[in-house]
Structure 1
């Protein structure tokens, strides 16, 4: 294949295997971080290790693909909410979805806080832009305090993800912690 040729589309069975590997990797990385062995991901996906390596030549490539896929789904969610009639409610609905997904997932804190991997740069910038639009609309509607920007918001969210995860907070404790953070985002 030359540099100008597009890769051939995957056969249906190969696509299903790739999707199964990616789903198993997302689950494993979310629970255990990047330290999970590729053989364990293959086992969870119900495929051989060769299948994992055929689609993802390194664990880092698989980790990156798992995060990028998760971030792209979050971008789509933020964009869907960007035209909601109530910008404040849309902003907090999005944050709630981030909390539900990211409060217990080890890989999401890396994604929302930014990462130095070149593969993460585009989706993380797109995610920040989509969240920034929600934030700006919520601020303009008076639902969110005007003195914060997207960088402030992302630091607070990442810090709260890490704090609740690293302290072994229960679901109820995570919910209370994020409720306090959300209250702090509202105007005084």
Structure 2
């Protein structure tokens, strides 16, 4: 689901075409920033990105005019990919299968990225809000299409669905017990069972 699009626009500075080694540094910085955002969250630092990329701080400062802008662009890329996934799911021959596949992508991505999970659970900034608006439209279309097909419970408002899906993302521990590695998938199975329109027989 991840795409490179906007993130690479925030690495590098105007000037001559980058040399091969500089291009490799750019790729490493974007990959490192993405991994740090997933594992650490929105509090990731420039030093952490440099360490993960295997470059010095000077290289980061030369190639990344703004770490905040780069992290925001990575989130934009991810939300755009999620929107495209919702659009593709809407076109599936089987309405329930399409919705369930999107739900799995949505929950897995939130469960695997601290930064994305935090960003989607907070008030969006000016860069992310237009992209989230498109994602909301796509999810609404997907849910209402599945409801019209009799696949999702008709008594639900479409806005219930993103909140319910978000509950499938587990905390690290509860009642002193650690979450299983596949806990999000187990939670999602229960959530999907509750969303699905069950017909008698």
TM-score band, normalised by the shorter chain?
Answer: 0.7 to 0.9
Task: Give the helix-richer structure, 1 or 2.
Answer: 1
Per the alignment, in what secondary structure is the counterpart of residue 155 of structure 2?
coil
Residue 151 in structure 1 maps to residue 159 in structure 2: yes
Deviation at 1:179, TM superposition (A): 1.2
Deviation at 1:60, TM superposition (A): 2.3
Task: Indicate how the Cα distance of structure 1 residues 50 and 94 shifts in structure 2: closer, same or farther if over 3 A, else same.
Answer: same
Return the index of the structure with the highest Cα Rg. 2
Instruction: Provide the residue aligned with 1:177 in structure 2.
Output: 187
TM-score w.r.t. length of structure 2: 0.76
Number of aligned residue pairs: 180
Unaligned runs of 5+ in 1: 1-6
Instruction: Provide the residue aligned with 2:49 in structure 1.
Output: 41
Task: Indicate how the Cα distance of structure 1 residues 148 and 20 shifts in structure 2: closer, same or farther if over 3 A, else same.
Answer: farther
Instruction: Provide the residue aligned with 2:10 in structure 1.
Output: none
Q: Match for 2:171 among 165, 170, 179? A: 165
Instruction: Provide the residue aligned with 2:36 in structure 1.
Output: 28
Task: Indicate how the Cα distance of structure 1 residues 76 and 48 shifts in structure 2: closer, same or farther if over 3 A, else same.
Answer: farther
Deviation at 1:9, TM superposition (A): 8.6
Counterpart-to-counterpart distance in 1, 2:61 and 2:135: 28
Residue by residue over 1:39-71, the C-alpha shift from the partner in whole angstroms, topping out at 9 and shown as x without a partner, is 121222233323433454333222212211111
Unaligned runs of 5+ in 2: 1-12
Q: Match for 2:96 among 77, 88, 96? A: 88
